[in-house]
Amino acid sequence: MIPSQMLKGTLEGCVLAILRQEERYGYEISQNLECYGFGRIPEGTVYPLLLRLEKRGSITASFRASPEGPQRKYYALTDLGQKELTEFFRNYRELNRAVEQLIEMTGGYPHAQEDEAAFGGE
Amino acid sequence: MRKKTKLLLEENNRAEVALSEKGQELLTDIVVYLRGSRISTWEQEQVRRDITQMLRDAEARGEQAESVIGPDLKEFCDSIIAELPPMPRWESLLCALRDGLLATAILAAIWLGFGVLEGLLGAGSWPALTLTIGQLISGAGILLTACGVVYWICRRSFSVDQKKGPWVVLFLVLFAVLCAGIFLRQPVAVLPVPAAVGTVVGLFAVYKLMDLRLD
pLDDT profile of chain B (215 residues), mean per 10: 91 92 92 92 95 91 87 92 92 92 94 88 79 92 91 83 80 90 89 92 95 87
Contact criterion met (CB < 8 Å) for A68 and B57? yes
CA distance A92 to chain B (A): 24
Number of domains into which chain B is organized: 2
Query: Are residues B66 and B161 located together in one domain of the fold?
Result: no
- The type of residue at B133 is I
Residues A27-57 have pLDDT tens digits of 999 999 999 999 888 999 999 999 999 999 9
Interface probe for A, chosen from B50, B61, B67, B73 (most Cβ of A below 10 Å), is: B50
Using only the alpha carbons of chain A, give its radius of gyration: 19
A4-115 CATH, one of 3.40.50.2300, 1.10.10.1100, 1.10.10.10, 3.40.5.90 = 1.10.10.10
Query: Are residues B47 and B104 located together in one domain of the fold?
Result: no
What is this model's ipTM? 0.81
Q: Could you tell me the CATH number of the domain that includes residue B72? A: 1.10.1900
Please count the residue pairs, one from chain A and one from chain B, whose beta carbons lie less than 8 angstroms apart: 58
Query: Are residues B26 and B75 located together in one domain of the fold?
Result: yes
Q: Are A10 and A92 in contact (CB under 8 A)?
A: yes
pLDDT of residue A65 exceeding 70, the answer is yes
* List of chain A residues whose C-beta atoms are within 8 Å of the C-beta of residue B54: 26-27, 43-44, 47
Query: Are residues B65 and B125 located together in one domain of the fold?
Result: no
Query: Are residues B68 and B98 located together in one domain of the fold?
Result: no
pLDDT at residue A81 in the model: 96
Nearest CA in chain B to A40: B67
Query: Are residues B10 and B113 located together in one domain of the fold?
Result: no
- Which residues 77-116 on chain A approach chain B with CB closer than 8 angstroms? none
- Which residues 60-119 on chain B approach chain A with CB closer than 8 angstroms? 60-61, 67-70, 76, 79-80, 82-85
pLDDT at residue A121 in the model: 47
pLDDT at residue A7 in the model: 83
CA distance B30 to chain A (A): 12
Q: How many CB atoms lie within 10 A of CB B113?
A: 11
Q: How far is CA A114 from the centre of its chain?
A: 30
Q: Which of A45, A52, A72 sits opposite B57 (nearest CB)?
A: A72
Residue A59 three-state SS: strand
Residue B128 three-state SS: strand
Query: Are residues B75 and B94 located together in one domain of the fold?
Result: no
Q: Rounded to two decimals, what is the model's pTM?
A: 0.81
Range of the domain at B148: 89-213
Hey, is the C-beta of A67 within 8 angstroms of any chain B C-beta?
Answer: no
pLDDT at residue A119 in the model: 54
Query: Are residues B110 and B131 located together in one domain of the fold?
Result: yes
Query: Are residues B163 and B130 located together in one domain of the fold?
Result: yes
Query: Are residues B16 and B55 located together in one domain of the fold?
Result: yes
pLDDT of residue A24 exceeding 60, the answer is yes
User: Of the candidates B17, B45, B25, B4, which has an alpha carbon nearest to the alpha carbon of residue A69?
Assistant: B17
End of a domain among B40, B56, B83? B83
Encode B161-200: b = buried (16+ Cβ within 10 Å), e = exposed.
Answer: eeeeeeeeeeeebeeebeebbeeeeeeeeebeeeebbebb
pLDDT at residue A13 in the model: 95
- Which residues 11-40 on chain A approach chain B with CB closer than 8 angstroms? 26-27
End of a domain among B62, B83, B104? B83
pLDDT at residue B121 in the model: 84
Nearest CA in chain A to B80: A48
Encode A30-63: b = buried (16+ Cβ within 10 Å), e = exposed.
Answer: bbbbeeeebeebbbbbbbbbbbbbbeeebbebee
Rounded alpha-carbon distances, angstroms, from residue B195 to B130, B136, B200: 12, 17, 9
Phi-psi label, residue B65: left if phi above 0, alpha if psi -120 to 50, beta otherwise: alpha
pLDDT of residue A117 exceeding 70, the answer is no
Q: How many CB atoms lie within 10 A of CB B136?
A: 16
- Tell me what the pLDDT averaged over chain A comes to: 88
- Geometric angle at alpha carbon B150, from B106 and B2, rounded to 5°: 65
Sheet with A24-25, strands from edge to edge, namely A24-25, A71-77, A59-65
Longest dimension (CA), chain A: 61
What ranges do the domains of chain A cover?
4-115
Query: Are residues B203 and B136 located together in one domain of the fold?
Result: yes
DSSP 8-state code for residue B158: T
* List of chain B residues whose C-beta atoms are within 8 Å of the C-beta of residue A34: none
End of a domain among B38, B61, B83? B83
Q: Which of B58, B67, B80 sits opposite A48 (nearest CB)?
A: B80
